[in-house]
């Protein structure tokens, strides 16, 4: 999450072009981006631009996406005989393409949300919202990355994976992003592209979508609901400033949000057990998934009974622990 800094200057630039010289209005090095690329600048400005690129492409989110895509790839490869399993070069191509698509979708999301982002403390310093990068430049970067990622999968012969990757980008950018301004149900919509990266990995390894891919998709989908709802309630005032009618904004008391979190924590128990039922993972996974699920459920129950920022934060941190525990166990104890 980005911390908000004061925005010292913002200038409307027609069609994404800047007509300023190499220095800004204060005489300091201009750190804005133009369609022809960043102007010459000292090392500090270059570092700022690199930081802007990382913020634009949401690198921390991309890391999680790559990890889950790798998980899907590993589960898919394990279903094949040794002679048919794809090698390391294939894995690198798939992960790089998936990362590119994720980064491109994140950039396009920030282009579309630049106005509400500028009103929210946690997003006001994003490069486009803060005016350091033009929407045209953000769009160009986003299209190149997203299109390049999908194209790399398609040209590499991974057509099912490319189709899922394209669907992920389109759902995130064209459906979830505008839906956020309309209804809190966008959280459900957004959980779909958020849960598709392991399906991309599985499809790339096997050329199809199998039970393991569906099981991991369901787990990722259900996990995102309490995870994001905890974030939304902790930052409900900020989301209200941005004009997002999330459940935490519509009902700031937390009752509705925390009940939803409890329901999804309950749902995680059978969904977490499903890989064992389907014969995808063994008993060690089952024990760990049930233990992690019960611990998460306990915190969700406490959150419903003691509505507080401290409990919401504890539940959020528990969600950060739950996912890697279950995913690592699934790979380690794969049948």
Q: What is the mean pLDDT of the chain?
A: 86
Show the DSSP H helices in the chain as ranges.
43-56, 59-78, 88-112, 114-119, 135-155, 159-170, 177-179, 186-195, 197-206, 211-234, 236-242, 247-250, 255-277, 283-305, 309-332
- Give the end of a domain, one of 194, 209, 224: 209
Same domain flag for 306 and 324: yes
Q: Does residue 21 have a pLDDT over 70?
A: no
Same domain flag for 53 and 182: yes
- What are the tens digits of pLDDT across the range 52-97? 899 999 999 999 999 999 999 998 898 888 888 888 899 999 999 9
Residue 254 lies in a domain: yes
How many structural domains comprise the chain? 2
pLDDT of residue 30: 47
Sequence-separated contacts (24+) of 303-312 with Cβ below 8 Å = 303/258, 303/261, 303/262, 304/258, 304/259, 304/261, 304/262, 307/253, 307/254, 307/255, 307/258, 309/234, 312/230, 312/233, 312/234, 312/254, 312/258
Same domain flag for 82 and 175: yes
Confidence of residue 34 (pLDDT cuts 50, 70, 90): low
Residue 21 lies in a domain: no
Residue 42 lies in a domain: no
Same domain flag for 215 and 201: no
Same domain flag for 189 and 317: no
Q: Does residue 15 have a pLDDT over 70?
A: no
Q: Are 224 and 194 in contact (CB under 8 A)?
A: yes
Same domain flag for 192 and 59: yes
Domain holding 85, by residue range, is: 47-209
pLDDT of residue 29: 43
SS3 label, residue 281: strand
Same domain flag for 178 and 230: no
Residue 33 lies in a domain: no
List the one residue out of 325, 83, 330 whose CA is nearest residue 201: 330
Alpha-carbon span 201 to 165, nearest angstrom: 10
Same domain flag for 79 and 179: yes
**CA trace torsion 212, 84, 154, 198 (10° rounding):** 20
Alpha-carbon span 269 to 257, nearest angstrom: 19
- Write the burial class of residue 50 (CB in 10 Å: 0-12 exposed, 13-18 middle, 19+ buried): exposed
Same domain flag for 155 and 230: no
- What are the tens digits of pLDDT across the range 272-297? 999 999 998 999 999 999 999 999 99
- Give the end of a domain, one of 209, 236, 258: 209
CATH number of the domain enclosing 246: 1.20.120
- Give the end of a domain, one of 209, 238, 259: 209
CATH number of the domain enclosing 53: 1.10.357.140
Residue 18 lies in a domain: no
List the one residue out of 44, 172, 227 whose CA is nearest residue 164: 172
Residue 136 lies in a domain: yes
C-beta atoms surrounding 128 within 10 Å:
27
List the one residue out of 261, 250, 241 whose CA is nearest residue 314: 261
Count CA within 13 A, CB hemisphere, residue 317: 6
Residue 2 lies in a domain: no
Q: Are 94 and 158 in contact (CB under 8 A)?
A: yes
- What are the tens digits of pLDDT across the range 172-206? 999 999 999 999 999 999 999 999 999 999 999 99
Residue 19 lies in a domain: no
The separation between the first and the last C-alpha atoms of the chain, rounded to the nearest angstrom, is 37
Distance of CA 17 to the CA centre of its chain: 30
Same domain flag for 141 and 266: no
**Locate tokens 């980008």: which residue?**
169
C-beta atoms surrounding 279 within 10 Å:
10
Q: Does residue 324 have a pLDDT over 70?
A: yes
Same domain flag for 131 and 159: yes
Q: Does residue 134 have a pLDDT over 80?
A: yes
Same domain flag for 190 and 51: yes
Alpha-carbon span 106 to 1, nearest angstrom: 13
């Amino acid at each position: 999450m980005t911390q908000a800094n004061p925005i010292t200057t913002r200038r409307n630039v027609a069609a994404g072009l800047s007509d300023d010289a190499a220095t800004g209005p204060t005489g300091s090095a201009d750190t804005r981006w133009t369609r022809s690329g960043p102007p010459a600048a000292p090392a500090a400005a270059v570092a700022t631009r690199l930081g802007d690129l990382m913020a634009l492409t949401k690198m921390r989110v991309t890391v999680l996406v790559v990890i889950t895509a790798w998980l899907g790839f590993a589960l898919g490869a394990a279903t094949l005989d040794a002679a048919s399993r794809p090698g390391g070069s294939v894995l690198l191509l798939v992960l790089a393409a998936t990362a590119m698509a994720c980064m491109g979708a994140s950039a396009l999301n920030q282009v579309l949300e630049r106005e509400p982002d500028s009103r929210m403390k946690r997003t006001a310093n994003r490069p486009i919202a803060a005016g350091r990068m033009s929407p045209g430049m953000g769009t160009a970067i986003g299209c190149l990355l997203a299109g390049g990622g999908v194209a790399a999968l398609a040209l590499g012969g991974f057509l099912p994976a490319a189709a899922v990757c394209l669907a992920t980008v389109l759902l995130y950018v064209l459906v979830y992003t505008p839906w956020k301004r309309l209804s809190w149900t966008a959280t459900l919509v957004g959980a779909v592209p958020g849960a598709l990266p392991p399906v991309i990995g599985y499809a790339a390894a096997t050329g199809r979508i199998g039970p393991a891919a569906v099981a991991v998709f369901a787990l990722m989908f259900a996990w995102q609901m309490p995870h994001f709802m905890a974030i939304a309630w902790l930052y409900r005032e900020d989301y209200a400033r941005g004009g997002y009618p999330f459940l935490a904004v519509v009902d700031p008391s937390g009752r509705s949000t925390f009940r939803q979190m409890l329901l999804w924590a309950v749902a995680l128990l059978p969904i977490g057990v499903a890989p064992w039922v389907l014969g995808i993972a063994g008993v060690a996974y089952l024990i760990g998934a049930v233990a992690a699920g019960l611990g998460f459920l306990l915190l969700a129950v406490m959150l419903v009974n003691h509505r507080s920022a401290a409990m919401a934060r504890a539940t959020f941190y528990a969600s950060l622990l739950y996912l890697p525990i279950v995913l690592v166990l699934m790979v380690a104890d794969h049948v």
